[in-house]
Structure 1
Amino acid sequence: MKIFAKISWLFATIIIMSSLALMIIFYYLAPRPYARKISAWLIRLGTFFTVEIQGKEDKDAQMFLINHQSDLDICIMETITSKDLAWVAKKELFEIPFFGLALKLPEDIAVTRESKTSLLKLLKDAKDRIDKKRVITMFPEGTRSTKSKMLPFKSGAKMLADKYKLRVQPVVIMQSAKYYNVKEFYYKPGRIKAIYLDSFIANKQDKDWLNNLRTKMQKVYDDELSNNPSHR
């Protein structure tokens, strides 16, 4: 079974990489965000996973904050919204050959952790994307957590949302690492659930809103896990 899972993972990875290559080509043929949307749908269809949506997307949302477990998370978000997403990712990813190009062409936002200069650039770049009616999209944990507990949220999300008083909508993605896990070379098709939570306007006077949001998102995750056996 483990050998079959690794073969399946290789198949899914080939689909993902091929779709990214097509996205780079599509970028020169189709306006943003269609190149990335097409690529995301090719991955979703090619890897045979479906998405169940709970809650309602706020059409006025300016920022999505999402928990992060798997490389499928970007694909999930791109296929459940028609919005033009501007992803915030660590600078190192932009420097990876081929993959970095898939981030640079759509003008995603690079950030260097623990760098004040980078944070200033993040604010400037985010303002540019917001003015272009794009939605800032972040994994506030900063990296993948393949377990059921979310990592502490990084302060950059709060700083950015507070600065521009953004309308923030959290999204909880359930158990995506159960279906595609790059660390364990594991993949299987299935149905992944994405839960839209209520949006809110960021308020810098509330110094704990980001930590409280993590607690709220974790509770939604835990409740869904307890009440829906299919996630286990």
Structure 2
Amino acid sequence: MKIFAHISWLFATIIILASLTIMIVTFYIFPKPYSRKLAAWLIRLTIFFTTSIKGKEDPNTQLFLINHQSDLDIAVIETVSNRDIAWVAKKELFDIPFFGLALRLPKDIAVQRDSKTSLIKLLKDAKNVLSTNRAIAMFPEGTRSSKGVMLPFKSGAKLLADSNSLIVQPVVLIESAKRYNTKEFYYKPGCIKVIFLDSFVADKKDSEWLNNLRVKMQKVYDDELANNSSNR
């Protein structure tokens, strides 16, 4: 079974790279955001993962905050949402040949950790994105957490949301790391559950809302695993 999972991982990785290539080639051919949606759906259909959705996406959402476990997470969100999404990602990713182009073309938002200058640029870039009626998506943990415990949320998520009292919608992805894991070279086709929590307006007067949100999202994650055996 492990050998099959490794072969599946290699196949899935090739499909992901091929789909990114198609996105880059078709970016100026199709209207936004269809080149990215096409790439995401090609990944989903070709490597045979499906999604189940709990809750409803708020069409007025300005900022999605999503737990991050797998490189599939972006494709998952792009196929369950019709929104034109600008993803917040580490600046280093934008500098990677080929992959960085897939981030720069759709004008995703680069952020550099522990840099006050970068945070100012984040707010400016976010304002430009929102002015075009796009939504912003962010992994507030800042990196992948594949062990089922969400990492502390970075303060940049709160700064971004508080700056313009954004409409925030939390999204919990259930065990996407058990589908695609780059550290263990493992892929297993199956269903990834997407849970949309209720949206809210960020209140900068509440200094603990981001920490409290992490606790809430973790509880939703844990309860889903405890109450639904199909996720285990």
Decide: shared fold, TM above 0.5: yes
2:91 maps to 91
SS at the partner of 2:51?
A: strand
- Gaps of at least 5 residues in structure 1 are none
Q: Distance in 2 between matches of 1:213 and 1:136?
A: 18
| Pair 1:119-2:81 in alignment | no
Q: Distance in 1 between matches of 2:199 and 2:84?
A: 18
Q: Counterparts in 2 of 1:64-75, with a 5 A limit?
A: 64-75=64-75
Per the TM alignment, residue 26 of structure 1 is displaced from its structure 2 partner at its CA by 1.2
SS at the partner of 2:172?
A: strand
SS at the partner of 2:58?
A: coil
AA matched with 1:23 = M
Q: Distance in 2 between matches of 1:25 and 1:147?
A: 36
1:25 maps to 25
Q: Counterparts in 2 of 1:1-232, with a 5 A limit?
A: 1-232=1-232
Identical columns (%): 70
Q: Distance in 2 between matches of 1:225 and 1:214?
A: 17
Q: Distance in 2 between matches of 1:195 and 1:26?
A: 31
Q: Distance in 2 between matches of 1:188 and 1:199?
A: 32
Per the TM alignment, residue 56 of structure 1 is displaced from its structure 2 partner at its CA by 0.6
AA matched with 1:228 = N
Q: Distance in 2 between matches of 1:131 and 1:218?
A: 32
AA matched with 2:99 = F
AA matched with 1:78 = E
Per the TM alignment, residue 188 of structure 1 is displaced from its structure 2 partner at its CA by 0.8
Q: Distance in 2 between matches of 1:134 and 1:203?
A: 21
Per the TM alignment, residue 230 of structure 1 is displaced from its structure 2 partner at its CA by 1.4
Q: Distance in 2 between matches of 1:218 and 1:43?
A: 28
How big is each residue's C-alpha offset from its partner over 1:2-24, in whole Å with a ceiling of 9 and x where there is no partner?
Answer: 22211110000001000000000
Q: Distance in 1 between matches of 2:176 and 2:163?
A: 31
SS at the partner of 2:86?
A: strand
Taking only aligned residues, the RMSD between alpha carbons, in angstroms, comes to: 0.5
AA matched with 1:21 = T
Per the TM alignment, residue 162 of structure 1 is displaced from its structure 2 partner at its CA by 0.2
Question: What is the TM-score of this pair, normalised by structure 1?
Answer: 0.99
Q: Distance in 2 between matches of 1:195 and 1:4?
A: 30
SS at the partner of 2:87?
A: strand
Per the TM alignment, residue 38 of structure 1 is displaced from its structure 2 partner at its CA by 0.5
How big is each residue's C-alpha offset from its partner over 1:178-227, in whole Å with a ceiling of 9 and x where there is no partner?
Answer: 00001100001001100000000000000000000000000000000001
SS at the partner of 2:170?
A: strand
Q: Distance in 1 between matches of 2:73 and 2:43?
A: 11
- Gaps of at least 5 residues in structure 2 are none
Per the TM alignment, residue 126 of structure 1 is displaced from its structure 2 partner at its CA by 0.3
Q: Distance in 2 between matches of 1:168 and 1:189?
A: 31
Question: What is the TM-score of this pair, normalised by structure 2?
Answer: 0.99
Write out the 4+ residue segments of structure 1 that deviate beyond 6 Å after TM superposition. Answer: none
Q: Distance in 2 between matches of 1:80 and 1:2?
A: 30
Q: Distance in 2 between matches of 1:170 and 1:27?
A: 29
